[in-house]
Amino acid sequence: PSSPASCSHSGCQDNSGKPSNTTQTQEDSPFLSPGEVLSLDSPGCIRSPEKWVMLGRLRGRTSIAEDMQINFLGQGGFGICCAAGADAHLFPPSVFSVPLEGRSTKMFLRGRPITMYIPSDFLNYEELRMELPTEKLKLDWVYGYRGRDCRSNLYVLTSGELVYFIACVVVLYHVQHRTQRHYLRHTDCVRCLAVHPDKVRVASGQMAGVDKDGKPLQPSVHIWDSSNLNTLLEIGQGSFERGVGSLAFSTADEGAYLCVIDESNEHMLSVWDCARGTKQAEIKSTNESVLTVEFNPQDSSNIITTGKSHVYFWTWSGSSLTKKQGIFGKYKKPKFIQCFVFDTNSDVLTGDSEGNILTWARVPADIRTLGKGAKETYQISKQTRAHEGSIFSLCLCRDGSVLSGGGKDRRLVRWSPSLSLLQEVEIPEQFGAVRTIAEGDGGELLVGTTRNALLRGSLAEGFRPIIQGHTDELWGLGTHPSRDLFVTCAHDRQLCMWDSGEHTLAWSTTLEETGLCADFHPSGKVVTVGFSSGRWVVLDTETQQVLSSYIDGNEQLSVVRYSPDGEFLAIGSHDNFIYIYSVEDSGHKYTRFGRCTGHSSFITHLDWSKDGKFIMSNSGDYEILYWDVAGGCKLLRNRFENKDREWASYTCVLGFHVFGVWPDGSDGTDINALCRSHNERVVAVADDFCKVHLFQYPCAKPKAPSHVYGGHGSHVTNVRFTHNDGHLISMGGKDTSIFQWRVVGGSLARSQSLSSASVSSQDAGVST
């Protein structure tokens, strides 16, 4: 229309700029009461940019306030007025007594605008400056070990520490002192490890990986000092493809050289000078998988590699490498030769997929046929039936005996130097097969297993676990409300309770299905786990017994969350619904209370208000919705009214208080999880680029700076603060690692105000 419909509100103006006191209605207008639409002190009126705009009638609208603020607030001041039965129209701001200008802000994900209303206590929002938090994180403990797909990755150093790896971290674990140190200079997953003859220097090789833009990174080998964790050399950047698969230091010349095999199609074999970091020789080894490499301990010019259907004996001279293939002759050629050692006679013992130990004896060179320069060769002199199924590991002990570790049969066997069976023990099924073996002090043995456990013990007294971990992708995480405990669940169907104070696994139990999310009842007496099928169970935290089992829908559950008073349980599902249960008897009794219906995509995150009556939720299409649970699970359509509500937790990745954590150009999947500290000073973020971030809270401005921490080798799927904010727990998805970070610096007092000063985002190379 050429002119807006007039309004009966005193002071409203028509398009001539003069006050109008007449009311004009139309029969086809959807009549909405001013209070129902706007819920403002000045009913029916809301500010907008200062110019005349006709929005048309409010057909089908349920919230003028929401529509107007999404499009216009923060740009100036003009108003919209709606009387019952009238068309919506705009008028100058002079008639308003409610100052609402500048009270919303907006972010975009995949081009979709997400509007967030500014709380009333942010009086000078435009002057707000985001700073780096005074708190920082320091890696305190790493749970897990990579044994499922790696080998030769467990050694004992002169310090008495065990050295092994998981994700991008090489762990140095002193069993007696119960301490860990961590080498953190790798930028992608570590795949192999070698210890120098001095038992101090360590070489570790990593995969190539990609950066956050998808560009490939160069794999390399780090040579570092285990006494102080200083990097001595980084070699091979630009020389290796895909990753580094195997490493070995020479022994005869006191570790002067390092042999490296990469993961390219040709599995390039190269020899490097450890002092200068220069390449001495390089050659294509084979198109088949190469599983291990070693120098002859008596002669560094002799190198051996084994893998799929081959044993190669290499001769290194200057810049040339030549190979001879091991001939199996009358013996069955195995599909894989997974491991080998040099025995006390310098013969080679290989362990293969047939379960046999083959003895390759040295044979003098045939000078008559091959001439004076001919080298000695190796031929099979003996076959020893050792295991049912593959032999994954061989270890030469200081007393000359040999240890072999089986895959299928899980047996650990000690053999005499002449390969007579001396002793054996079977590793419990729960730990998996023997992956690698190391000899400690006093005859103590250390065993790495295929189910990512490290065991300590002896053949006579058996073995007990000293490090345990999950074996498949991790997602579910919950921290105990009052104790130093946290629970994890993964695609391996294991539910694990960890003691963060003792750095141990308190207990684990096998679930019937894949657990994806978990939360403790505020009493701490029970924990609820949501499954991939829509089912959820309640377990007693002391007995590990399943107390209750329910099912809501037939799609996976992404979040379970108790209200702060423990009287409700909210369950977010991929069927777009939030199911609400009333809870009694400290989490032992559940009754369906209602269902929150209104999301147009799957639920991703949710939080309860401090009074336990309302919920804020996020969904897969980037919605932020609010629900009145106590009032009957009603959707609160006027989101503006929830701007000042206080939340008991903050794990929703979308919201005014946290939108500054999102990077520029994000596609909406870059952040998997976040968690506000209980003292409301910081927010931790788990991103899709293997990083953990620590931001100031609230984080309510774009491009906020953060402390950034690496170590994970896969997308970080979840983060949670412990009950007293002393630690942060983070989980790598496919790398199966769990990191426990100590929160250092800052104050435990709750944040009351934000400084307006701007600070640099640089902090020792770990801030952005």
Is the pLDDT reported for residue 292 higher than 80? yes
Is the pLDDT reported for residue 262 higher than 70? yes
Amino acid at 142: V
Complete edge-to-edge strand list for the sheet that includes strand 136-143: 136-143, 738-744, 727-732, 716-721
DSSP-based three-state secondary structure for 125: helix
Which of 188, 184, 166 is CA-nearest to residue 224?
184
Is the pLDDT reported for residue 74 higher than 60? no
The dihedral region occupied by 450, where left means phi > 0, alpha psi between -120 and 50, and beta the remainder, is: alpha
Is the pLDDT reported for residue 90 higher than 70? no
Average pLDDT across the chain, whole number? 85
The Cα–Cα gap between 658 and 651 comes to 9
The predicted structure's pLDDT at residue 372? 62
Residue with tokens 């405990």: 485
Domain ranges of the chain: 1-102, 182-325, 474-663
Is the pLDDT reported for residue 16 higher than 50? no
Q: Once rounded to an integer, what is the mean pLDDT over residues 334-347? A: 95
Give pLDDT tens digits for 532-550.
Answer: 999 999 999 999 999 999 9
For residue 188, report the phi and psi dihedrals to the nearest 5 degrees: -150, 180
Q: Once rounded to an integer, what is the mean pLDDT over residues 440-447? A: 92
Listed in sequence order, the residues at least 6 apart from 725 whose beta carbon sits closer than 8 Å to its beta carbon are 677, 678, 679, 743, 748
The Cα–Cα gap between 509 and 546 comes to 10
The Cα–Cα gap between 422 and 439 comes to 17
Please give the share of the chain, as a percent, with pLDDT higher than 90: 76
DSSP 68: H
Listed in sequence order, the residues at least 6 apart from 330 whose beta carbon sits closer than 8 Å to its beta carbon are none
The predicted structure's pLDDT at residue 369? 58
The Cα–Cα gap between 174 and 169 comes to 16
3-state SS track over 406-438? ECCCCEEEEECCCCCEEEEEECCHHHCCEEEEE
How would residue 229 be classed by pLDDT, with cut points 50, 70 and 90?
very high
Listed in sequence order, the residues at least 6 apart from 489 whose beta carbon sits closer than 8 Å to its beta carbon are 474, 475, 476, 495, 496, 511, 514, 515, 516, 517, 518, 529
The predicted structure's pLDDT at residue 363? 83
The dihedral region occupied by 255, where left means phi > 0, alpha psi between -120 and 50, and beta the remainder, is: left
CA pseudo-torsion sign 740, 566, 616, 476 = positive
**Which fold does the domain 474-663 belong to in CATH?**
Methylamine Dehydrogenase; Chain H (2.130.10)
The predicted structure's pLDDT at residue 524? 97
CA 472 to chain centre: 12
The predicted structure's pLDDT at residue 59? 32
The Cα–Cα gap between 607 and 652 comes to 7
The dihedral region occupied by 35, where left means phi > 0, alpha psi between -120 and 50, and beta the remainder, is: alpha
Tell me the CA distances in angstroms from 233 to 248, 645, 711, one per residue in order. Answer: 15, 54, 20
First to last CA, the chain: 52
Q: Once rounded to an integer, what is the mean pLDDT over residues 565-569? A: 97
DSSP 210: B
The Cα–Cα gap between 17 and 549 comes to 66
The predicted structure's pLDDT at residue 423? 96
How would residue 367 be classed by pLDDT, with cut points 50, 70 and 90?
low
Is the pLDDT reported for residue 211 higher than 90? no
In this structure, are residues 589 and 611 in contact, taking their beta carbons and an 8 Å threshold?
Answer: no
- Cα Rg of the chain, angstroms: 33
Complete edge-to-edge strand list for the sheet that includes strand 162-166: 155-156, 162-166, 169-174, 179-183
Structure tokens at 381: 């002199």
Is the pLDDT reported for residue 128 higher than 80? yes
Q: Which helix (H) or strand (E) holds 190?
A: strand 190-195
The predicted structure's pLDDT at residue 170? 98
CA 619 to chain centre: 21
Listed in sequence order, the residues at least 6 apart from 706 whose beta carbon sits closer than 8 Å to its beta carbon are 132, 661, 685, 693, 694, 695, 761, 767, 768
Q: Which helix (H) or strand (E) holds 367?
A: helix 367-370
Listed in sequence order, the residues at least 6 apart from 278 whose beta carbon sits closer than 8 Å to its beta carbon are 272
For residue 430, report the phi and psi dihedrals to the nearest 5 degrees: -60, -20
In this structure, are residues 607 and 651 in contact, taking their beta carbons and an 8 Å threshold?
Answer: yes
The predicted structure's pLDDT at residue 216? 79
Equal CATH topology for 182-325 and 474-663? yes
The Cα–Cα gap between 235 and 245 comes to 14
Q: Which helix (H) or strand (E) holds 69?
A: helix 64-71
**Which fold does the domain 182-325 belong to in CATH?**
Methylamine Dehydrogenase; Chain H (2.130.10)
Which of 188, 84, 44 is CA-nearest to residue 711?
188
Pairing of strands 320-325, 310-317: antiparallel
